[in-house]
Structure 1
Amino acid sequence: MATPEYIRELRDAGVGRSLLFLPGVTAVVLDGAGRVLLGQRVDTGRWALVGGIAEPGEQPALTAAREVLEETGVRVVPERVVSVQGMPELEYPNGDRCQFMDITFRCRPVGGEARVNDDESLAVGWFAPDALPKLDEATLRRIEQARGEGPAWFEPAGEFEA
């Protein structure tokens, strides 16, 4: 995922490589045949759901729609929140550290054609549930949650102690 300009400015202004807590959004795009839209990432070579970082002042659902269009050429309408979760801390090859608070949306395509539409993907495609490429467990869980109709998933808080 490309680093937004505002994050580069923060890092240049003194944050450096310190841990940043960032708003992340993931889109599970399901078409009428139940296929899921995936992109093969340039940075890892792995297939993944489309996602990105919200811009300042941007609503998360708009972030999901923007990221899908920018990365795949597909226009979508976010339909519901699938999950909200804090992700593990990441360290990038340049030493930048971050942790995402991810909101995953189920989205419905409303136009466009799936294609590589930016420099973040090697390939883009629609995959039937029984023909998915190798995906990590967290991605498979989000796809399964998006296919269901239940409430949004989140990690239970447990008991809070002050």
Structure 2
Amino acid sequence: MPTPDFIVSLREKIGHDQLFLPSVTAVIVRAVPTGSAIWELPSVLLAQRADNGTWAPISGICEPGEEITTTALREVKEEVGLDGRIEALLGVGQVGPVVCPNGDKRLYMDTSIRVSVPDDAEPVISDEENLAAQWFSVAQMPTSVSARHRMIIGDAVAQMKHPQGFRPRMGYVKRTS
């Protein structure tokens, strides 16, 4: 994934030292159409990352001064060419630390948001960050989807089905293995 210009500029000053960056994960869930079989489940839009081949929801780093919701909608448009609408806050938590292949260290404060797109919307890869994008049943996602992303996708489905009873997640569960 390309590094934003403002981070390149910071790296010229601080080298590989850890940066603490605000980021967003935009989970796009499509509800089951009315009249579908009772066992059918919602689908989620995932993109296959160009840097490591894994499948994940749309995500990105906030530009300086950018609202988190603006970042979510910008990333959806840039990465899969779709116009989205903010639906709900899913949670906030730390991701990382991450060490990039070039040695740069990052720690993210990630905000997960459920985003909707028109029912007939189909993704189009519109930048170099992704190799492919497609809809998957939440029960049949690729095995490369991380545990954190599976948890957030589950939260998005729960929030969509029961918005009044949903409480955003505060902090992501850290795995020890």
The TM-score with structure 1 as length reference comes to 0.91
Secondary structure, counterpart of 1:64 in structure 2: helix
Distance, in Å, in 2 between the alignment partners of 1:98 and 1:88 is 7
1:148 aligned onto 2:158:
yes
Supply the distance in 2 between the matched residues of 1:24 and 1:129 (Cα, whole angstroms).
23
Is 2:78 the partner of 1:70? Answer: yes
Give distance in 1, aligned partners of 2:29 and 2:167: 17
Tell me which of 117, 128, 133 is aligned to 2:126. 117
Q: Which segment is superposed worse, 20-29 or 130-139?
A: 130-139
Range that drifts further, 130-139 or 65-74? 130-139
- Would you identify which runs of 4 or more consecutive aligned residues in structure 1 move more than 4 Å? none
CA distance in 2: counterparts of 1:105 and 1:79, whole angstroms: 7
Confirm or deny: 8 A CA contact 2:92 2:170 kept in the other structure: yes
Percent identity of the aligned residues?
Answer: 37
Report the Cα distance in structure 2 between the residues aligned to 1:154 and 1:106, rounded to whole angstroms: 15
Q: Where does 1:55-134 land on structure 2 (aligned, <5 Å)?
A: 55-110=63-118, 113-134=122-143
The alpha-carbon deviation at position 72 of structure 1 amounts to 0.5
Unaligned runs of 5+ in 2: 33-41, 160-165, 173-177
Q: How far did residue 50 of structure 1 move? A: 0.6
Partners of 1:113 and 1:132 in 2: CA distance: 17
Q: Say whether the 8 Å CA contact 1:71–1:120 is kept in structure 2.
A: yes
The alpha-carbon deviation at position 88 of structure 1 amounts to 1.7
Give CA-to-partner distance per residue, 1:105-133, whole Å, 9 cap, x none.
00100385302111011110011122211
Q: Is the 8 A contact 1:22 1:101 kept in 2?
A: yes
Contact 2:91 2:171 (8 Å CA) reproduced: no
CA RMSD of aligned residues (A): 1.4
Q: Is 1:5 matched with 2:14?
A: no
C-alpha distance after superposition, 1:24-69 (max 9, x if no partner)? 1000001233211100001111101110000011100110010011
| Distance in 2 separating the partners of 1:107 and 1:92 | 28
8 Å CA contact 1:73, 1:112 repeated in 2:
no
What is the aligned length?
155
Indicate if the aligned counterparts of 2:79 and 2:126 stay in contact, CA closer than 8 A. Answer: yes
* Contact 1:89-1:99 within 8 A present in 2 as well: yes
